[in-house]
Structure 1
Amino acid sequence: MKKPVNEMREHILNVARALMTRKGYTAVGLNEVLSTAGVPKGSFYYYFKSKEEFGQALLQEYFEEYLSRIEPILKQQASGAESLLQYFLYWSETQHDDSVDNKCLVVKLGAEVCDLSEVMRQVLEKGTARIVNLITATIDRGVEDGSIVACDSVALAESMYQLWLGASLMAKVNRSTQSFLSALTITKSLLG
């Protein structure tokens, strides 16, 4: 039985995410995505107008799914500082395992697609801003509950997010989790 349009579109995006998490955006052709998904070659444009629209949908779906996983961590009943530490421990655990399901597409695709597509760059910009806003709100909560020293919460949130993006990149380069340990040490000192 044929899958409904939305279900098939979702299936194509899920297959593509696994492929692109391993290989990147430009290294994965539409033929590879469609054959892996078991979708006839000519039907891609029924689901997406272009590869760029496809990439945009892939990133939008990634951010929605990622935010749904991290919101409960950052909004838990623990102190602001403890919530942030739990989030960054979660980051470390999910970025150094072999599963492609939880890998950060910002790290994998960010530098690659920003020069190729303004639309995809904007999705990345908006998605990362939403993450930084959640971190900022958690820092503000920590300042209120006394677990974080008073600070410019926006600047601290941006700096910590950038620190962890860099740690993820270096973990890939060095094939080591040491960068996550270093980032965690710095994060603890930044939180006071």
Structure 2
Amino acid sequence: MVGCFESSSLDRWIDNQAINEIKLTIDGNELTIPAQSGIEYKFDYGKHTLTYNNDSLNFIVKPAKFGTTSFINSTQSNYFINTVVYSTSNVSQEEYDKISQKELKNLSVMVDGEQAEIELPTVEINDVFINKMDTYWDYSFDEPFPKKLSQKLNLPKDSYYFEDKRKLYREMDFLDYLKNDGEDEAISFPY
């Protein structure tokens, strides 16, 4: 039972990072999701069926915990959460490398058509439901990563400060980010 002032539905973004529009159905309603964009969709609490490309998925919509952000990845495309470590300028390169090392993960990639692994401060996600509570990010795919952070710090002399920030990327945007970050090889991600 829902109280008088409580909503009985939940709005969720349905994302499409493909270069073409896609068509899917939710509970028999056909939706067209624009290319490299998405739509907001209102789900009533309860059971639902999502069908895409002749595959169906049954799921239940419940009230969101703590108002967390999530979205639907109906094509099960690859999304990436990349971590950047921001630090005060007095951190030595050795200490910065040690701090950054904790974020590194091995990712399977295709390099010039050959399977390989690279080490990046990145997590790959291709679930149908991507929830910020499960895979935390500070900046979504439509928000830029800041060049620097500004904070007032009262640090003791000879101390330093660092902070990890995470950004969610669609696959093509992440490949562009890698290219702009100096990755010379032609990388793609297996599905």
The TM-score range, normalised by the shorter chain, is: under 0.3
Structure number having the greater helix percentage: 1
Structure number having the greater strand percentage: 2
Q: Which has the larger radius of gyration?
A: 2
